[in-house]
Amino acid sequence: MSGMLPNGHYSQYITAGLAANPNVDLLVYTDKRPANLEITGCGTIKLVWSKNWRFFTDILTQLRRDKPDIVHYQHELNMYGGQLTAVIFPWLLLATRLMGIKVVTTLHASVFLAQVDRQFVATFGYDPDKIPVLAVKAFFRYVNFTVTHFSQLVFVHTHLAKQILTQDYGAPASRLHVIPIAIPARDMSGATNTHYFFYFGYMVRRKGLGFALEGFKKFIDAHPESDFKFILAGGVIKGQEQAFEEIKASIKDYNLDAKVEVKGFIKQDVQDDLYTHAYAVVIPAILSMGSSGPLFHANSYHKCVLTSNIGHFLEDITDGKTGILVENAKWAEAFDYIVANPQVVKAVEANVKLKAESRTPEQTADQYVSLYQALVANTH
């Protein structure tokens, strides 16, 4: 149960791995966008739910028809719509269990309650004077407690996520299983390292693009002869359009119009080309709520990735080996370091290639299937 778009969505990777397993007969319930039916190699795709409160009845009606053994729900706060669907979602899990179907949930994001403050609220584009911090904390407590108690198995991507859920939200540790994100295989035989840094992801405040842009300006000021560019690509989240305007304004204020390209939403072939030929991939962040999809997307292209030195990145990256961790005040130094040391970039790429080969969707799916089988075998 998951959204499947755009191309490169994590659920496309993992369903492809599951579909390749001979012990799995896979149905994928996704939202009612016709483009989902163009996805191949990911099981039998059904357009089931709309992104509004009706998702609850849409899904239950289809489950009554298909009677699966297990439903594996993917959970992100906006997966099925907005705040209302996030409030309803845990009761969908309970209703599914009452139908006699086993329930597994992957929780993709979690945050320590101590991190939820006024700045946290503002980062997501809300007015902290109108949305009280206590209300946001209560919302997170409610969602994480109910989801982890109503599910029979819960998958998370890092040990930090498990710690957060058990420590702050009372999740039952015995139900939580840490399975790192899968990394799809790609043919990188034609890869080159052209002189540009690449960012791909949403243009939102929590991504910390302002830090990276400021660092890039300092790098260019220190090396005015440099031919390096910074290419930004990705979409805008509804309600956070102002963040994108702020990013464009920063580029203008820094006089970087000739050095920074903003491509917005791009198609898959363009995305593949930009990743394949990037010198390095840049993933800044103000806040880390879970394993970064863009990080493992970049890993699939065997690229050297620079990320902010925070949160889940500390577990997902071995600094200097499978990526470069950067203090948000030191992006200029990070750009300078990797440009001056191409041998470091090549060494990281080699390590990331090995990491990707050990974390294929098929290997990750096998871990899922073994836990599915144990759950089905347990009739209690």
Which residues does residue 72 pair with via DSSP β-bridges, in sequence order? 104
Based on the domain organization, do 151 and 18 belong to the same domain?
Answer: yes
Rounded distance between C-alpha atoms, residue 56 and residue 86, angstroms: 11
Cα distance between the two ends of the chain: 24
Based on the domain organization, do 168 and 21 belong to the same domain?
Answer: yes
Helix pair angle (293-300, 342-357), 10° resolution? 100
Is 3 within a domain? no
Q: Which domain holds residue 14?
A: 10-182+360-377
Is 188 within a domain? no
CB 265 within 8 A of CB 276: no
pTM for the whole structure: 0.91
Based on the domain organization, do 72 and 95 belong to the same domain?
Answer: yes
Q: Which pLDDT tens digit goes with each residue over 236-284?
A: 777 677 888 888 899 999 999 999 999 978 888 999 999 999 999 999 9
Nearest to 107 by CA among 164, 32, 190: 164
Is 65 within a domain? yes
When divided into structural domains, the chain yields a total of 2
Dihedral sign for Cα atoms in the order 225, 230, 231, 236: negative
CB 28 within 8 A of CB 44: yes
Based on the domain organization, do 284 and 345 belong to the same domain?
Answer: yes
Is 26 within a domain? yes
CB 287 within 8 A of CB 123: yes
CB 166 within 8 A of CB 173: yes
pLDDT-derived band at 235, boundaries 50, 70, 90: confident
Residue 3, helix vs strand vs coil: coil
Q: Does 207 have pLDDT greater than 80?
A: no
E strands present in the chain:
27-31, 44-49, 70-75, 102-107, 153-156, 176-178, 196-200, 229-233, 260-264, 280-283, 305-308, 324-326
Based on the domain organization, do 273 and 203 belong to the same domain?
Answer: yes
Task: Give the phi and the psi of residue 65 in degrees, each rounded to 5.
Answer: -75, -45
CB 144 within 8 A of CB 165: yes
What's the gap between Cα 326 and its chain centre? 19
In CATH, what number is assigned to the domain containing residue 105? 3.40.50.2000
Which residues does residue 323 pair with via DSSP β-bridges, in sequence order? 319
124-140 mean pLDDT: 93
Residue 316, helix vs strand vs coil: helix
Question: Higher model confidence: residue 170 or residue 204?
Answer: 170
Q: Would you state the pLDDT for residue 113?
A: 97
Reported as half-sphere exposure (CB side, CA atoms, 13 A), residue 23 has a value of 11
User: Which DSSP symbol is given to 76?
Assistant: -
Based on the domain organization, do 227 and 347 belong to the same domain?
Answer: yes
Based on the domain organization, do 326 and 365 belong to the same domain?
Answer: no
Based on the domain organization, do 341 and 266 belong to the same domain?
Answer: yes
Based on the domain organization, do 117 and 255 belong to the same domain?
Answer: no
> Torsion angle, CA of 203/204/210/215, rounded to 10 degrees?
-50
pLDDT-derived band at 206, boundaries 50, 70, 90: low
Task: For residue 17, give every residue at least 6 positions away whose Cβ sits within 8 Å of its Cβ, in sequence order, or none.
Answer: 182, 360, 361, 362, 363, 364, 365, 366
- Please identify which residue in the block is written with the tokens 């006024």: 118
CB 193 within 8 A of CB 347: no
Pick from 90-99, 232-241, 247-256, 307-316: least confident: 232-241
Is 189 within a domain? no
Rounded distance between C-alpha atoms, residue 103 and residue 39, angstroms: 25
Helix (H) or strand (E) holding 165: helix 159-169
Pick from 7-11, 249-253, 325-329: least confident: 7-11
CB 207 within 8 A of CB 289: no
Q: Does 89 have pLDDT greater than 80?
A: yes
Is 241 within a domain? yes
Based on the domain organization, do 104 and 59 belong to the same domain?
Answer: yes
Rounded distance between C-alpha atoms, residue 364 and residue 14, angstroms: 7
Based on the domain organization, do 201 and 325 belong to the same domain?
Answer: yes
Q: Would you state the pLDDT for residue 205?
A: 65
What's the gap between Cα 276 and its chain centre? 20
Rounded distance between C-alpha atoms, residue 268 and residue 273, angstroms: 9
Question: Higher model confidence: residue 170 or residue 290?
Answer: 170
Is 190 within a domain? no
Based on the domain organization, do 24 and 94 belong to the same domain?
Answer: yes
